[in-house]
Amino acid sequence: MNPGAGGRRRFRYAPTPTRELHVGNGLAALVGWAAARRAGGDFILRIEDIDRTRCKPALRDAAMRELRWLGVEWDEGPDVGGPAAPYEQSQRLAQYDDALARLEAAGRSYACRCSRADVRAAMRAPHLHEGGELPYAGTCRPQAGDPGVALLPGRGGYRLDVVSLGADAIVTVRDGWLGVTTEDVRTTCGDFLLGRPGAPTYQLAAVTDDLAMGVTDVVRGRDLAGSTARQILLCRALGAEPPRHAHHPLLVDAEGQKLSKRHRALTLAGLRASGVAPERLRARLGAAIGLWRDDLAAAAPADFIDALPELDPRDAAEEAHWHDGRWVL
């Protein structure tokens, strides 16, 4: 069965169960769910648990419990099944290995032995790409007539051959929230890492899953916007059209820093245990990113559907009032 058949739009939320979900995770889930419901589409819960040393089943179960408490329901996921099962990345490793093999067979990737330290040492002015990738100097890129290197056990991995794409590596991203931007992946990060058999990178796993699950729309926080151009290139390298993208504002603390899992007092479980009602939490989440007035005392899940802007890249650049919101409960 093709899970994306029939023209129905499909959205996903994909948490990593390494710690309890915090309010920023809750916002991302609510916005993605509301976008799916507004479009009359499907909402998928996918668990990104490749790192088995840090990802715990108990945290996966807790995440599903807290999302439901917040008012987020999904049409497909680990506990309800669906046509694209399994919905946990730890059970999908064979699909990532297949994607790696297809890219290599098509001449779109090559083996690289470089460690992260090697990549940093080869750079004249080390800096991280916005998406967290160290720009690659091409140390292991095969030259004409050169078969390239072989992988060493537990070190390095395959890289997408971005440089050989020429002008096709210049990606225009039409973001439903941030507007239209352009990135030349050759200069921002170069040939980026895909992983090795049994150990895919986030980029490879996310794109492979989105294609296999028929995802048409990726709605997520703008902290992940830096991954979009690479994921679009990878979709095309795998012979598919990429999904639409929209990156919503983030919640920030008093210093303007993104709320993250280190803010332990702001977990959904902690707020729930302290007696915060879900309708109060939803009201604060929506107000923080400008969906409604700041003095709204309670909000139903459906209020997010009604208040969400049209995620159209033609209009997004004009929405100057969309900004990261300071979190105050």
Return the number of other C-beta atoms located less than 10 Å from residue 280's C-beta: 16
Query: Do you find a cis peptide bond into 17, omega within 30 degrees of 0?
Result: no
Helix H or strand E segment including 237? helix 228-237
With CA atoms as reference, report the closest residue to 95 among 240, 198, 243: 198
Contact between 261 and 234 (Cβ < 8 Å)? no
Token digits of residue 310 = 């049209």
Contact between 205 and 96 (Cβ < 8 Å)? yes
Catalytic residue, candidates 38, 261, 263, 280: 261
With CA atoms as reference, report the closest residue to 15 among 121, 68, 89: 89
Three-state SS at 188:
helix
261 is an active site residue: yes
49: phi then psi, degrees, rounded to nearest 5? -120, 40
Catalytic residues: 261
